[in-house]
Amino acid sequence: MNIVYTPNPVLLKKTKPVEKITVEILTLIEEMKAVLRESDIGVGLAAPQVGASLQIFLVSPQLADKENKDGEKISVFINPKIISKS
């Protein structure tokens, strides 16, 4: 699995909601976790960044500390909704 960059059209497409948690979705999430851990891209990764136009993203603030990657927790968000703003 590779990270895609602009001008890749998948980055401009409207993402689709995940209708059902399938083996394919779980596999995608595990592959995204591996990409996030192994790269220096930051602390988060969205499905479109790996070529999947789905409403999934991962966040792991602990990955910012490159000296301490052991035991990091990666939060997975599927079909997130913004319910308020400050």
More confident residue, 76 or 42: 76
Residue 35 confidence (pLDDT): 92
Answer yes or no: are the C-beta atoms of 38 and 30 closer than 8 Å.
Answer: no
Residue 80 confidence (pLDDT): 95
Q: Which domains does the chain have, with CATH numbers?
A: 9-78 (3.90.45.10)
Task: Quote the mean pLDDT of the chain.
Answer: 89
pLDDT tops 80 at residue 63: no
Residue 39 confidence (pLDDT): 81
Q: What is the pLDDT of residues 35-62, one digit of tens each?
A: 988 887 788 999 999 999 999 999 987 7
Residue 42 region by backbone torsions, left for phi larger than 0, else alpha for psi between -120 and 50, else beta:
left
